[in-house]
Structure 1
Amino acid sequence: MAHGGHNCSHAHDHDESPEMGIQYSLYEKIDFENLNCLNESIENSGRGIFKSWEERLNFDKVVESDADEELLFNIPFTGNIKLKGVIVIGEDSEAHPARLRIFKNRPNMTFDDTSIAPDQQFEMQRDTSGTLEYSTKVVKFSSVTHLTLHFPTNFGSDNTKIYYIGLRGEFTTAHRHGVTICTYETTPNTSDHKTNAFDSVSKEIQ
């Protein structure tokens, strides 16, 4: 597996942007009762790191891996989401996750299932303030009801620590079809349909 895609070409500082708080509100659409984190050292601690944008730097809640460095989050939503970006705040140490693998619409994944190819994956940089965003290929994540985030490794520690995971995107109520969801064009505009319109800001693994 290649490890070359390590640099983030666009590291945006979102700290004081109220718009980012709105865009990173997908945590409100998580079905927390059915969210689970595998290999967490404290039961249900993984749920606590999904929180509001304003609370992202509150480090009172943390999830730490148990038996080894791997963590896997199964995240169901209360409707359909369009995932545009992910932010992960970890510890300024070797316990910070080093790779992120994202799967869509595969409920109840376990570590045995992670041998399959993810829908997208990233080499990560250490981020302790929420300034690095991993932008997804929106065409792949435009109709998601369940998201799995797999952190297979870190920067060398026996255990991985994560303080915040932020999900940026849009939400659509399930089973509802209306003009707020679909836009109809009388004459398609080819410039609106370029497949490379949503390139990742962080270089993904090839």
Structure 2
Amino acid sequence: MTVTSSHDTTAPRTPNIAKGVLLRAAAFSFTVSLILGVTGLWQQVMPWLLILIIFYYAGPLMSWDMQHKLLPNAYTYPLAVAQFGLAAGLLVTDPILNLTGSPTTGAATHGAIMLIIALAITGLLFAFALFAPIGLGDVKLLAGLSAATAYYGFEAAFISLFLGHVLALPVAYNAHRKGEKTVPMGPFLITGALLVLLFMPVRTLFF
């Protein structure tokens, strides 16, 4: 079950995207990712960097969605740009290592997988939103979340999306009983992504 969180016309004006914030987010995440890639530290650091970026934007996103049922572009766009920047940094790592004669570590494959899966999920949900009650704010949020969870492959990205909707079921049921048509999905989608990202680095302890 999917419900929108972006159609409350009574909500206050959302904050504007700060000038240059997208460029800074892209440049910073790309640079950090590239450094981690060429130094061989990406496998140790990247999983936690993906989580930290989500945590950075989680507070305002959850607050806005819970209070106003809106996910402002001022937070969804930088989140997506930062995660895509990390993926792009990994994508160019192996070609650079090849130029220097250093052995590659598979970083480019991870970067490509992150971008392909995130773009596929975002594109599919955007098309679905044209005919179904899915808020575009949720779609833009999932662009960043999917890029992060796709670090572990399609299964992780799908489980994150599925888990977010499962977590939202009690709230959605309660809203339905009250006759409400919208549910703030953002907090549940973020929680689902974080649970997957926190579990994956330690999954070998359980399986």
* Shorter-chain TM-score above 0.5: no
Name which structure has the greater RCO, CA cutoff 8 Å, separation 6+.
1
Give the TM-score of the pair, scaled to structure 2. 0.25
Structure number, greater radius of gyration: 2
Greater strand percent: which structure?
Answer: 1
Q: TM-score, structure 1 length as denominator? A: 0.25
